[in-house]
Amino acid sequence: MSHEALSISLFVVFVAATLAITVWASRNTKNATDFYAGGRSFSGPQNGLAIGGDYMSAASFLGIAGLIALYGYDGFLYSIGFLVAWLVALLLVAELLRNSGRFTMADVLAFRMSPRPVRTAAGVSTIVVSIFYLLAQMVGAGALVSLLFGFTSDFAKGATIALVGVLMIIYVVFGGMKGTTWVQIVKAVLLMTGAALITLLVLGKFGFNLSSLLNDAAEQSGKGDKFLQPGQRYATEDSGLTGKLDLISLGLALVLGTAGLPHILIRFYTVPTARDARKSVMWGIGLIGVFYLFTLVLGFGAAALVGSEEIRKVNSAGNTAAPQLAERIGEIVFGSAGGTILLAVIAAVAFATILAVVAGLTLASSSSFAHDLYAHVFRRGKATEGDEVRVARISALVIGAVSIVLGIYAQRLNVAFLVALAFAVAASGNLPAILYSLFWKRFNTAGATSAIYGGLGAAIFFVAFSPVVSGDEKALFTDHDWSWFPLSNPGILSIPIGFLCGFLGTVLSKEYNAAKYAEIEVRSLTGAGAEAAVKD
Amino acid sequence: MSVDKNAAGTVYERFQGTAEFQDLRRRFRRFAFPMTAAFLSWYLLYVVLSGWARGFMGTELFGSINIALVFGLLQFVSTFGIAYLYSRHAERRLDPAADKLRAEIVAETAPAARTAEDAR
């Protein structure tokens, strides 16, 4: 049996299992709390797994392993930012958000503000961030299929994007948060198991001696010791000060973006209490941390055993390093059949990974559309729960359909920068608004809308005039050049701008509601009045 | 706890003013804020050194293991450590106070339910 056939069979099994879960979840989704928050009935460890499943995207699995395989140490910088970021979520956001919100990020922001302008701003930001992220994942899925199965035609890529889109729509429309969460849990278990297996085999090959693995990787790379040091990818020697500032800028967006990503924030609503939200982040940190340690071994293992030349031949960005390593280590340890099987397993896991992440993103954006924009802005809070959930399902369908079309259209473009942009927007617009809401007494409506629009606008503005959009050979538009902003990552400017806009908007407006601040402060810290779990 | 029911404002404003709540708030902020400043500085130090101190980061400690790798792994250790310390702090120093305050607020905001319960 070829690896393609085996891989497709495994993937079909995964799809069948997740569709069965979706059918079960749809029978148990009766009201808005079920649809948006899975009835708030998941345990801490379950939600911790789902957090891992939501967060460990194909970008971090295939992308970081590939970066390490080709550029050595610098790929590791990425994973560290992604991990440390969870402390912001744990210490400052998760529990307080669980105690004071209901379904979306905007619930917390609108708590003591004038609801319509704040929900509009938060809804726009949620949808923008989620769609950027979603589009990057969809295009990634199209690229992955051509790499793993040799389907290089645009039709095959487009068909893959459509398939991924249709599945994610089914998960979200029918399964809601319950279905999506279980898909993420299953995916997290598969991904951790697959990555752990390859990691163990690679370490075993080097006699469990990390130093000898690194040594072989450095030798194979042809760059020697430089391969094990920062500077091959980011802030390279010829990029000067611009490169170094770009590195800091990327680092800031990674560490501050996570706690402002809407699809991550809504995960905290799926557990019964703030204590469970804390436990779930603890589990999430453990899983994600261990996973990034695996990717370190996978990346250097691919550099040592596959070699950058072989990897570049298949994909110049290195995205196939992990599957290629799986095949090679399988061959080394178990013979050629072993290589075929491991490659098939990792390829199927990569698809499961993409599906779970896009489902989470679709849910976050459709929830925000229905709960924030439709129910509170258009209908001024007069929509019934049934109406709201119906609109959420329709918007999941529409958002899914739009992203299939955009994904197919964008498949020839380099959209990898969209993930970094999503983090930058989340850090520049959403995070200041959330932190000010939870901790700053004087914060008000003008402050919240200024923070979100200011941070979001600044991040998009700088990226639009950066080398990732025009002027560079790897840019979105290679034929034109209107770039003048030298950095690829806007965070170093847009994050302070977001915080500053929030501050100025607040002090320039006299509005301020002391009673509501007392309520959010007392509720967020004590859990009084927090939304309860639905009893089945 | 003594909450003056005749004081002005909502039940939340009154509880916000109590010594118990102020104490809970102080315990939360005194842990979370300095710790956030600490791990963000520690992380930024790592990113800055990766950009500007290549020679130092490339120093080999044993075999092919250099300072850059150890520094990176220490970021994992500090993240796991801070997460553990926070959860211990929350369980010991925050949860009991939060539970007590919550029970009092619930009792006060839902007097009807309480009376019904007492009558049983």
Q: Does A273 touch chain B (CB under 8 A)?
A: no
- Of the given ranges (A415-429, A465-479, B8-22), which has the lowest mean pLDDT? A465-479
ipTM of the complex: 0.93
Per-position b or e across A1-25, b if 16+ CB within 10 A of its CB: eebbebbbebbeebbeebbebbeeb
Residue pLDDT, tens place only, A377-430: 999 988 899 999 999 999 999 999 999 999 888 877 777 788 888 999 999 999
**Res A313 pLDDT > 90:** no
B10: which chain A residues are within 8 Å (Cβ-Cβ)?
515, 518-519
Under the banding of pLDDT at 50, 70 and 90, the label for residue B1 is: very low
pLDDT reported for residue A27: 93
- CB distance A515–B10 less than 8 Å? yes
| DSSP element (H, E) containing B65 | strand B65-66
DSSP state letter for B61:
E
- CB distance B75–A248 less than 8 Å? no
Torsions phi, psi for A378 (to 5 deg): -70, -45
pLDDT reported for residue B119: 46
A77: which chain B residues are within 8 Å (Cβ-Cβ)?
47, 50, 72
pLDDT reported for residue B112: 53
Note which residues in 14-43 of chain B have CB less than 8 A from chain A. Answer: 15-16, 21, 24-25, 28, 31-32, 35-36, 39-40, 43
pLDDT reported for residue B120: 43
Neighbouring CB atoms inside 10 A of A416's CB total 18
* CA angle at A175 for the pair A169 and A177, rounded to the nearest 5°: 100
pLDDT reported for residue B109: 83
Q: Does B60 touch chain A (CB under 8 A)?
A: yes
SS (H, E, C) A306-333: CCHHHHHHHCCCCCCHHHHHHHHHHHHH
**Res A169 pLDDT > 60:** yes
Under the banding of pLDDT at 50, 70 and 90, the label for residue B28 is: very high
- CB distance A215–B68 less than 8 Å? no
Nearest neighbour of A285 by CB, restricted to B13, B79, B101: B79
Distance linking the first and last C-alpha atoms of chain A: 45
**Res A468 pLDDT > 90:** no
Find the mean pLDDT for residues A346-362.
91
Q: In angstroms, what separates the C-alpha of A391 from chain B's closest C-alpha? A: 34
For the ranges A225-229, A379-383, A502-506, the maximum mean pLDDT occurs at: A502-506
- CB distance B47–A210 less than 8 Å? no
Crossing angle (nearest 10°) for helices A240-257 and A417-425: 60
- Of the given ranges (A13-22, A53-62, A423-432), which has the lowest mean pLDDT? A53-62
Under the banding of pLDDT at 50, 70 and 90, the label for residue A6 is: confident
Query: Which residue in A155, A158, A161 sits closest to A137, CA to CA?
Result: A161
d(CA A89, CA B13): 27
- Alpha-helical (H) ranges within A206-307 are 210-221, 240-257, 262-265, 274-305
Torsions phi, psi for A477 (to 5 deg): -115, 110
pLDDT reported for residue A536: 55
Under the banding of pLDDT at 50, 70 and 90, the label for residue A85 is: very high
Residue with tokens 């080398």: A467
Contact A161, A155 (CB under 8 A): no
Q: Does A87 touch chain B (CB under 8 A)?
A: yes
Q: Does A278 touch chain B (CB under 8 A)?
A: yes
